[in-house]
Amino acid sequence: MRSTTFTRLPAIVGLAVLLVAGQANAPRPQAPSALPGLEALPHDLEIELALSALPAHLQSEATVYALNPATGFEIARAGTNGFHALVARTGDDAFRGSWPLTAYRNDILYPIAFDAAGAKAQMRIFLDAAALQAKGSPAPELKRIIQQRTKAGFYQAPERAGVAYMLSPVLRTYSNPDAGEDVMTSNYPHVMYYAPDVSNADIGGATPGGMDPFLILHGHHGYIVQALGVTERGALNKQYQPMLDRLCSIQTLWCLPNTKGEQNP
């Protein structure tokens, strides 16, 4: 997913997050919304964005979720291949670290897809967060609940090795959620492998943001992140350019920077 330099991934999703010089938006993020802040995208755009997290050969038979602001995520299309794709507005990275989640943001855009093992484990946090947010749970309370559940073992580690895909050409979420609430928009397609209770030292991980693997979200729900190459990323950008244009027209913070690292108009 990246081609330059990141500080660290969220997660994502993932999680994972993407600080690439010239790949991430420079403007300061908008102020978080004091309201629950769940907003649906146009239905066809949300489906396309969710599926963009997956490689092409998995998209047609994957289960896809769409956001219902009144209830949370709902299945928009049932699949048969064990993969599940969605676009989170409050990702699992929002519950990392000791910084206070004082309000919900309206600019988070987190396309992620899980295999069957991840759908049973990692994805539950995304679904529960959306459902509680839709019910009106205040942001600080939601973070407390998810952290409490995680500490108590309610969200278990994946039962086997597996993979989560974040191949979408656009991602906006927390840049280093273990440390703070800074947010950025990135062009960083990547693949994540479940790595419960593994450290960066265990895998000889590199500094986040390069082409070499590194670890994010340490603990039961950790991931080893592997970025796609520059050529692959360029092909995805070209393939999804109409989708990127639509997103940029809806909210400027979802626009990718141009080749000079400047904000697109």
Predicted confidence (pLDDT) per residue in 211-229, tens digit: 678 777 777 777 888 999 9
Intervals of the chain under pLDDT 50: 1-35, 259-265
Contact criterion met (CB below 8 Å) for 162 and 194: yes
> What pLDDT score does 133 carry?
95
Q: How many domains does the chain have?
A: 1
pLDDT for 106: 92
Q: Is residue 189 part of a domain?
A: yes
Residue 197 exposed, middle or buried by CB count within 10 Å (0-12, 13-18, 19+):
exposed
Query: Residue 87 to residues 97, 167, 180, 197: CA-CA distances in angstroms?
Result: 22, 12, 22, 26
Q: In this structure, what DSSP letter does residue 6 have?
A: -
Residue 226 lies in a domain: yes
Instruction: Label each residue of 9-37 as H, E or C.
Output: CCEECEECCCCCCCCECCCCCCCCECCCC
Q: Do the domain assignments include residue 260? A: no
DSSP 144: H
pLDDT reported for residue 209: 60
The per-residue pLDDT for range 109-119, each reduced to its tens digit, is 999 999 999 99
Query: First vs last Cα of the chain: how many Å apart?
Result: 23
Tokens of 71: 């209830």
Q: Which domain holds residue 68?
A: 43-250
